[in-house]
């Protein structure tokens, strides 16, 4: 079962971007998103093929076991909407273990967003975690489109059609009831629905293996041998790391999608095998023959411009031959700035793998301190009058003479600009510069690792080139 994580949810979980998804039938693919309904934080999972969805309220620890939560939400939602337990279990068996990845296309995500619009105006059940009422609304009362079916329809009916197409009776009676009802009827015992299901699965597995063999056959013998040797070396190191942590060397410590070494939440996938960030770094260091850096999840304390202390979480990820160190401002879930699009300031540097850790952290701290103390925007209270600038909530934002930011893309292909930790859409971004109307605006695009020139340096450059 593939669970596509939307970009806002991935940023909330502080997970790294996923590699491209492996091909899976859409019926086994779901997209997960985090929303607020009636003041409660909710998890929504939506089937990419038919828009069938489940809604549950989330507590803090639930996010740490997201794979189990998604599977249980799918099971409960299907049962709540009338599908038989045997049909639900058969579907989950065929769907297989959970794999986290990217969302499943703009059409599927667009249909999910239109469904979520219905939820945002609804009232939730504050006494229960699973939201049965909201689940019924989106599946049985919300008429809409979906990725795998033409025209408008109800999600429950579309899910039933997809199950039937797979050979699963969506509303089938339990096996005991079937035995009682048809005990006096002649039935061909040679071929059962279970046999057909197993044959379908076997055919799918054969097709996957044939495709993998065909792809491998196109590679040169040298490339095939190198890939096999690397895979053996990685597997050997992973087994050794499991032993060091007191786990069975032959199998992952936790079933499902979790780090194959320690069983925690995955952040990096090597092929289809998940690793947490720390185990991935250690594995890569062993492959490179480099010493392992154990303290690669530090916290930096930085003083803000108002004298308050800000915390930055630090992550280190090896991208040979460099190690990328990133510091991201810690923004709590209940921070009211979330409502205006604040996601936190982020800075990063690329360092040599062998560079001293303390020296690297010192450089990262300096960069974070500079980003906080020399903001790229000015923020003022909204006066109530029409004015220039980007209007964000009750504040007006203006661009400083120089600064930096980063551009991100969401699952719909829409772009946002993050400056001083604040998310701006295209219109708001242009609004930042309206205060420069009538001036010669000089705008440069830099890599975020570059040092930006001071305003006087830009002026001197203009004078040397005869532009001023």
C-beta of residue 322 within 8 angstroms of C-beta of residue 353: yes
pLDDT for 453 = 56
One domain for residues 304 and 284: no
What are 209-218's contacts with CB under 8 Å, separation 24+?
none
Alpha-carbon Rg of the chain, whole angstroms? 27
How far apart (Å, rounded) are the C-alpha atoms in residues 230 and 222? 12
Contact 372, 303 (CB under 8 A): yes
Q: Are residues 280 and 304 in the same domain?
A: no
Under 8 Å CB-to-CB from 5, ≥6 apart: which residues?
13, 15, 18, 31, 32, 100, 101, 102, 103
- Strands across the sheet with 390-392, in order? 377-381, 395-399, 390-392
The tens digit of pLDDT for each residue in 61-84 reads: 889 889 999 999 999 999 999 999
Structure confidence by residue, pLDDT tens digits, 82-118: 999 989 999 999 998 888 999 998 889 888 988 888 8
Quote the domain boundaries for residue 436: 377-468
Residue 143 in tokens: 């008429």
Q: Whole-model pTM? A: 0.46
Last residue of a domain, one of 269, 288, 307: 288
Check whether residue 421 and residue 349 sit in a common domain: no
Together in a domain, 41 and 134:
yes
Contact 100, 63 (CB under 8 A): no
CA distances (Å), origin 357, targets 92, 101, 387: 46, 31, 47
Number of domains in the chain: 4
Other Cβ atoms within 10 Å of 69 Cβ, number: 21
pLDDT of residue 308: 80
DSSP state of 191: S
Whether 327 and 383 map to the same domain: the answer is: no
Whether 36 and 127 map to the same domain: the answer is yes
Residue 294: what pLDDT?
66
106 and 142 in a common domain? yes
Look at residue 191 and tell me if it is in a domain. Answer: no
Pair 370, 283 in one domain: no
Of 326, 351, 374, which one is at a domain's C-terminal end?
374
Which residue shows structure tokens 């097709």?
A: 207
In-domain check, residue 209: no
Looking at residue 174, what is its pLDDT? 45
Round to whole Å and give the CA distance between 247 and 426: 50
In-domain check, residue 275: yes
Q: How far is CA 146 from the centre of its chain?
A: 22
Residue 103's CATH number: 3.30.420
Q: Is residue 190 part of a domain?
A: no
Asked whether residue 147 falls in the same domain as residue 25, the answer is yes
In a domain, 73, yes or no: yes
Q: Does residue 321 have a cis peptide bond before it, meaning omega lies within 30 degrees of 0? A: yes
Pair 155, 266 in one domain: no
Same domain, 281 and 163: no
Whether residue 100 is found in the same domain as residue 245: no
pLDDT at position 199, please? 58
459 lies in some domain: yes
In a domain, 198, yes or no: no
Angstrom distances, CA of residue 92 to CA of 130, 164, 345, 391: 19, 15, 40, 47
| pLDDT for the residue 49 | 94
List of the chain residues with pLDDT < 70: 173-219, 256, 271, 294-297, 382-387, 410-413, 437-468
User: Which H or E element spans position 242?
Assistant: helix 221-244
Length of the chain (residues): 468
- Is there a contact between 249 and 243 (Cβ–Cβ < 8 Å)? yes
pLDDT score for 364: 87
């Amino acid at each position: 079962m593939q669970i596509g994580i939307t970009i806002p949810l991935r940023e909330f979980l502080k997970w790294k971007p996923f590699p491209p998804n492996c091909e899976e039938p859409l019926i086994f693919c779901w997209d997960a998103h985090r929303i607020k309904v009636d003041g409660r934080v909710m998890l929504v999972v939506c089937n990419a093929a038919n828009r069938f969805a489940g809604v549950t309220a989330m507590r803090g620890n639930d996010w740490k076991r997201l794979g189990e939560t998604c599977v249980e939400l799918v099971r409960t939602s299907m049962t709540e909407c009338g599908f038989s337990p045997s049909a639900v279990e058969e579907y989950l068996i065929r769907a297989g273990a959970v794999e986290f990845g990217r969302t499943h296309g703009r059409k599927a995500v667009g249909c999910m967003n239109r469904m979520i619009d219905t939820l945002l105006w609804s009232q939730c059940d504050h006494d229960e975690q699973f939201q049965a009422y909201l689940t019924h609304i989106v599946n049985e009362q919300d008429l809409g489109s979906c990725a795998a079916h033409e025209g408008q329809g109800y999600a429950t009916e579309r899910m039933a059609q997809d199950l039937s197409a797979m050979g699963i009776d969506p509303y089938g009676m339990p096996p005991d009831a079937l035995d009682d009802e048809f005990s006096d009827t002649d039935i061909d015992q040679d071929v059962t629905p279970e046999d057909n299901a197993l044959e379908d699965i076997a055919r799918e597995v054969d097709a996957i293996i044939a495709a993998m063999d065909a792809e491998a056959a196109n590679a040169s013998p040298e490339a095939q041998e190198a890939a096999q040797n690397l895979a053996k070396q990685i597997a050997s190191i992973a087994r050794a790391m499991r032993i060091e942590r007191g786990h069975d060397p032959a199998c992952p410590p936790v079933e499902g999608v979790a780090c194959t070494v320690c069983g925690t939440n995955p952040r990096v996938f090597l092929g289809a095998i998940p690793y947490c960030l720390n185990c991935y770094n250690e594995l890569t260091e062993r492959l490179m023959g480099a010493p392992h850096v154990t303290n690669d999840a530090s916290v930096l304390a930085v003083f803000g411009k108002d004298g308050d202390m800000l915390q930055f979480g630090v992550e280190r990820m090896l991208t040979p031959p460099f190690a990328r160190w990133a510091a991201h401002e810690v923004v709590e879930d209940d921070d009211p700035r979330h409502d205006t699009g604040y996601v936190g300031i982020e800075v990063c540097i690329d360092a040599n793998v062998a560079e001293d850790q303390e020296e690297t952290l010192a450089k990262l701290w300096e960069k974070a301190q500079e980003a906080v103390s020399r903001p790229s925007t000015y923020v003022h209270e909204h006066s109530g009058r029409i004015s220039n600038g980007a209007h964000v909530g009750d504040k007006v934002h203006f661009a400083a003479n120089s600064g930096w930011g980063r551009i991100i893309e969401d699952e719909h292909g829409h772009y946002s600009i993050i400056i001083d930790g604040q998310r701006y859409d295209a219109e708001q971004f242009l609004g930042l510069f309206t205060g420069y109307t009538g001036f010669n605006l000089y705008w440069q695009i830099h890599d975020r690792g570059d040092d930006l020139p001071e305003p006087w340096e830009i002026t001197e450059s203009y004078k040397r080139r005869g532009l001023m």
